[in-house]
Structure 1
Amino acid sequence: MRGEARHTWSDPYREIYATKRVCWSCALVKVTRHEPGLRPWTEFWRDGRRIRIAGDRTPPCECVSVRTASR
């Protein structure tokens, strides 16, 4: 690792064919899809847009400068 911030994921929110987690630092949403008859795959979303990264990598954490007091 090159000094980059790491994601700190929330507890999972499970839906029928997906599991969602949100990074506490940058609000990136990690969605693991597990639909019948298909292999599971992971998607990443930020501000309502899907983030696509080459290969099987997770987008870097873009920490916000102000953290909430609840954290």
Structure 2
Amino acid sequence: MRRVRSIAGDSVNLLLFRETGRSDDAAEEALWRLNPALSEQAAVLPAGVWVSLPEVERHPMAVAPVSAWD
């Protein structure tokens, strides 16, 4: 588990994507479980908030595209 500090203007989703390359539901759920106190912050985090990052794979599995002709 790695900890990072937020930059002024970060949202939780933006911070997660910048640091892990992912912002899907599974990665975001893992982040919220590690940081339940983040829910007390505003939608935009102030600078300097410590956030524990979940250990997730850097790149999610590729999803097959959906075609209108299937």
Shorter-chain TM-score tier: under 0.3
Q: Which has the higher contact order (CA 8 A, sep 6+)?
A: 2
Q: Compare the two structures and name the one with the higher helix fraction.
A: 2
Q: Compare the two structures and name the one with the higher strand fraction.
A: 1
TM-score normalised by length of structure 1: 0.25
TM-score normalised by length of structure 2: 0.26
Computing the radius of gyration from Cα coordinates, the structure with the larger value is 2
